[in-house]
Amino acid sequence: MVLTSEHLRSMEFFAWAALPAGNTIEEHVDEVEEIYFILHGGGLMKVGDEEQAVNAGDAIWIPAGEAHRLINNTEGDTFFICVAAYPR
């Protein structure tokens, strides 16, 4: 976590993350909406019932309450930023 709700007023968090090759952020649901911004690498992103390949430079919006996961199916690490905020 770079910043959390301890420091932010309308956002839950701003985070930087690394997902090693072959690893998965398991499918889960959050009460906040999120944006994943892929900095380097890629993988397979599932939001709700839709699944698609993601690569560096892609931004993925995840509505609050929507199941999502990220699989790093590449040969290298995937780095991304995640921003989370409560819906208005």
pLDDT for the residue 3? 63
Q: 47 is in which domain, residue-wise?
A: 3-85
pLDDT for the residue 1? 65
Query: What are the DSSP calls for the chain, one per residue?
Result: --EETTT-SSEEEEEEEEE-TT-EEEEE--SSEEEEEEEE-EEEEEETTEEEEEETT-EEEE-TT--EEEE--SSS-EEEEEEEE---
pLDDT for the residue 60? 97
Per-residue pLDDT of the chain (88 residues; tens, 9 = 90+): 666 667 666 788 889 999 999 999 999 999 999 999 999 999 999 999 999 999 999 999 999 999 999 999 999 999 999 999 987 7
pLDDT for the residue 63? 96
Number of domains present in the structure of the chain = 1
pLDDT for the residue 9? 66
CATH number of residue 78's parent domain? 2.60.120.10
